[in-house]
Amino acid sequence: MGFEQVYEYEDGKRDWGSFGLPREGRLAEQPSGGDVARADVPTCLLSDDLSEVRRRVRESGWETCIVVNEDRVVLGRLGRKAIGSDDGESVEEAMTEGPSTVRPSIGLEALLKRMQSNNLSSWLVTTPMGSLSGSCSAARPRSA
Amino acid sequence: MRSIRRDEVRQLLKEGAQLVEVLPHEEYEEEHIAGAINIRLKELNRKTAMQLDRSRPVIVYCDDYQ
């Protein structure tokens, strides 16, 4: 048809949406997990000092801290119990490994249903590569 | 037609590429990549392609794993 440069984006719009890139249309106008995820959720590295991490998280008012690597890929989570304790462990020993995650494009309604059915009050949002976008909380979404 | 990944799509868009979603209109209306136009694959012909600028790159896409 006379076009010289034609490409195929093989991974398509699901891939695009999974990275929270701009979309349009009826569903795109509805809030997604990526829209309400709080990017200011505390994070730490495996090598960080646990007592220092606890102090920092408590001061921030959060009750959780996400353990990530240098590329912000999620490795685990320090939950309320781990943050509230003063036991002298390492971050690796105290964390819960491999928390469940969703992609930024998930609809808010679907995300809330998933939280309810798993009896969880928050859920992590990551890119398909596992990099942390933020934390969604049923109690205090970012947009509230 | 060469397959490209997301990063190259973004780069080509910055350079003025045109995006075409080839899925049915209902799916396009539901959600599409910002700036994309909709030409169904089975309707892609010389006439429908008239709305595209031949001097700029064209990127076609559908959902995924098609």
The domain total for chain A is 1
Note whether residue A87 is domain-resident.
Answer: yes
> Quick one: average pLDDT of B8-34?
94
For residue A50, give every residue at least 6 positions away whose Cβ sits within 8 Å of its Cβ, in sequence order, or none: A88, A89, A90, A91, A94
Note whether residue A11 is domain-resident.
Answer: no
Yes or no, beta carbons of B61 and A13 under 8 Å apart: yes
**Cα B55 to Cα B16: distance, rounded to the nearest angstrom:** 10
Partner residue opposite B57 with nearest CB, options A5, A15, A22? A5
B30 touches chain A (CB under 8 A): yes
Q: Which domain holds residue A85?
A: 29-137
pLDDT, mean over chain B: 90
User: Looking at residue B64, what is its pLDDT?
Assistant: 63
Separation in Å, CA of B20 to nearest CA in chain A: 10
Yes or no, beta carbons of A26 and B29 under 8 Å apart: yes
Note whether residue A24 is domain-resident.
Answer: no
Yes or no, beta carbons of A13 and B66 under 8 Å apart: no
Note whether residue A63 is domain-resident.
Answer: yes
Note whether residue A80 is domain-resident.
Answer: yes
Name the pTM for this structure.
0.68
ipTM score over 0.85, yes or no:
yes
For residue A135, give every residue at least 6 positions away whose Cβ sits within 8 Å of its Cβ, in sequence order, or none: A37, A38, A41, A64, A66, A122, A123, A124, A125
User: Looking at residue A108, what is its pLDDT?
Assistant: 86
Greater model confidence, B16 or A20: B16
- Domains assigned to chain B: 6-61 (3.40.250.10)
| Cβ contacts of A11 on chain B, cutoff 8 Å | 5-6, 64
pLDDT-derived band at B50 (thresholds 50, 70, 90) equals confident
Note whether residue A95 is domain-resident.
Answer: yes
> Quick one: average pLDDT of B32-50?
89
Yes or no, beta carbons of B62 and A12 under 8 Å apart: yes
User: Looking at residue A139, what is its pLDDT?
Assistant: 67
User: Looking at residue A128, what is its pLDDT?
Assistant: 84
User: Looking at residue A143, what is its pLDDT?
Assistant: 43
**Cα B4 to Cα A139: distance, rounded to the nearest angstrom:** 40
pLDDT beneath 50: ranges in chain A: 140-144
pLDDT(B66) > 50: no
Separation in Å, CA of A29 to nearest CA in chain B: 9
**Cα A3 to Cα A36: distance, rounded to the nearest angstrom:** 41
Note whether residue A21 is domain-resident.
Answer: no
| Cβ contacts of B21 on chain A, cutoff 8 Å | 13
Note whether residue A14 is domain-resident.
Answer: no
B57 touches chain A (CB under 8 A): yes
pLDDT(B20) > 60: yes
Domain CATH number, residue A87: 3.10.580.10
